[in-house]
Structure 1
Amino acid sequence: MAGQRLSESVFKGLCVKVGSFQEVIMRRELMDFGELITNQVINTREEESMMISGSTSEGFRLQGSDLDLMFWPNDHIAIWDLDQAKKYDLNRKTLILCDCSDSPPGFVLLELLTSTHKESVMNACMKINDRLYISSSRYREITCSEVIPNSTEHGPCGSGVMVGTEYDYAHCFVCDFWPHPASKWIDRCHSWPPPFIVDDIVRNGCHFVAIGHKLGKHTDKEWRMSFSLAEKKLYIQ
């Protein structure tokens, strides 16, 4: 009985700190709705998409927590093999090929396959064996203050404080396909999460953020796989 009363007290205390179950769900839905509307407006200009991640998107409002954002250009698409290029109109999309053959697990090199109109991408490119690869370190440096001026580098993000709130935002690239190296994860999902959540996660692919493995062979050019959308869906369940 003492343990039960203690658990109830802890639960009530957490509700005061982070909000009740219903409040957290409502916050998540409001954030998702706001994100959807924002991206619809952005997509009409065919520029960038945005996603909120971290504790804010999960519905928590903790004192001292920061705001985590991800941005990616809608017309730049990463693919795992050339067959996937058939899905896109090459007159409207810039294709980037993922190469994980010489990188640690979870990291890739991004080869620029077609021309780009974005100076930030072109200026971040480096040649390796007559092929153009997008340098993560250069891209991170170039885009660090692109959204909010005077931001400082913090991992793969531009970081700072705005209106009393700390923020981290990362410029990344999107891939509509689930990574080949992560295919075994799908087979491990037997009892949890439920199949419809697994299908949704796999169908939405992944992102690549501008940071390399410290022990990687090409650490300044490597990009880390990010599964922020998967984390959001798993947490909600």
Structure 2
Amino acid sequence: MMMGNHELVTIRRKLALVEEEIWNAGMGYQGTILTGSRAEGAFMKGSDSDRMTIDKRVVVICPHDDSSITPDITNKTVFVMRDANSRPGYVNLELIKRGRICSKFMIQSVVPVGDLHFISSEMYRRSVTESLSDKFKIKMDVNGQLISWLTPKVGYDTDFVHAFICNSWPKEADEWVNRPRLHGWPDKGLIDQKIQCGCYLVPVGDKTSPDTFLQWRISFVTAERNLIHSFCHVQFLVYCLFKYLKNRYLPG
């Protein structure tokens, strides 16, 4: 494990953000967020390079939000979070408005439940996997929400996940906002900034739940990445050490 000095870590992070901007410049209906160790500025054997793809034609709203369709999402497909009868952090997504243009993944994954319609995480994940495998003619493994594409020549795995964006902060995460902080990190300004990031919904259910067919997990990837970028260099090195030990001795 060789992290380098603060300047080298900063350069890696800037390169990742530039790569992200380049991807987003020509993605059309899709957006890209780079996550994982390399986006954090780390580089070690087995470093992961995760890529989250956002469907810009879809937006998720929280049940406590005003349910009116605002002008900025008039033409988008809209889902609302519903209780998933699982551990906190997982929700079902009820379809309340279908947009003018929808991905085939979404169309193939919406299922009726009584008089309502929900999108199945399992069907969505399967549809994406099959499509990418056919398109790129490669073998792809599905592990939870991750679709892994092994790239041995560069020495790391590239993990892909498709997700929907929610521009609001879910009530399930209110405890993180209000919890006591004895050492003042993160400070109020950083917390407020993270709240503005909202969250994402990824197609994976609660492993402890007997029925994961409709469950989606709430993800805070951009907030997590920004929090790690706020570490001083010593804190970052300690974080990388623990991550290395976890991956080496506690796989999976």
Q: Specify the TM-score bucket, using the shorter chain as the normaliser.
A: 0.7 to 0.9
Q: Which residue of 1 aligns with 2:17?
A: 32
Q: Which residue of 1 aligns with 2:129?
A: 144
Q: Which residue of 2 aligns with 1:61?
A: 43
Query: Which runs of 5 or more structure 1 residues have no equivalent in the other structure?
Result: 1-13
Query: Which runs of 5 or more structure 2 residues have no equivalent in the other structure?
Result: 231-252
Q: Which residue of 2 aligns with 1:134?
A: 119
Contact 2:149/2:157 (<8 A) preserved: yes
Q: Which residue of 2 aligns with 1:108?
A: 91
| Aligned mates of 2:48, 2:132 — CA distance in 1 | 16
Contact 1:102/1:217 (<8 A) preserved: no
Counterpart of 1:186, as a letter, is: V
Contact 1:99/1:111 (<8 A) preserved: yes
Aligned to 1:167, which of 158, 167, 177?
158
Aligned to 1:230, which of 218, 223, 228?
223
Q: Percent identity?
A: 28
Deviation track 1:158-208 (CA, whole Å, cap 9, x = no partner) reads 112136342211111110000112112111264210222111110010011
Aligned to 1:198, which of 191, 197, 204?
191
Aligned to 1:213, which of 203, 206, 218?
206
Counterpart of 1:93, as a letter, is: K
| Aligned mates of 2:72, 2:221 — CA distance in 1 | 27
| Aligned mates of 1:91, 1:236 — CA distance in 2 | 35
Deviation track 1:13-45 (CA, whole Å, cap 9, x = no partner) reads x6xx12211100111122112212321332xx3
Q: Which residue of 2 aligns with 1:122?
A: 107
| Aligned mates of 1:90, 1:198 — CA distance in 2 | 26
Q: State the structure with more CA Rg.
A: 1
Counterpart of 1:118, as a letter, is: S
Q: Which residue of 2 aligns with 1:97?
A: 80
Residue 235 of structure 1: CA displacement?
A: 0.7
| Aligned mates of 2:132, 2:187 — CA distance in 1 | 37
The TM-score normalised by the length of structure 2 is 0.80
Counterpart of 2:197, as a letter, is: N
Contact 2:84/2:215 (<8 A) preserved: no
Contact 2:59/2:73 (<8 A) preserved: no
SS in 2 for 1:207: strand
| Aligned mates of 1:86, 1:137 — CA distance in 2 | 28
CA root-mean-square deviation: 2.0
SS in 2 for 1:62: coil
Q: Which residue of 2 aligns with 1:157?
A: 146
SS in 2 for 1:32: helix
| Aligned mates of 1:227, 1:23 — CA distance in 2 | 26
Residue 215 of structure 1: CA displacement?
A: 2.7
Contact 2:34/2:51 (<8 A) preserved: yes
| Aligned mates of 2:87, 2:50 — CA distance in 1 | 25
The TM-score normalised by the length of structure 1 is 0.85
Q: Number of residue pairs matched?
A: 219
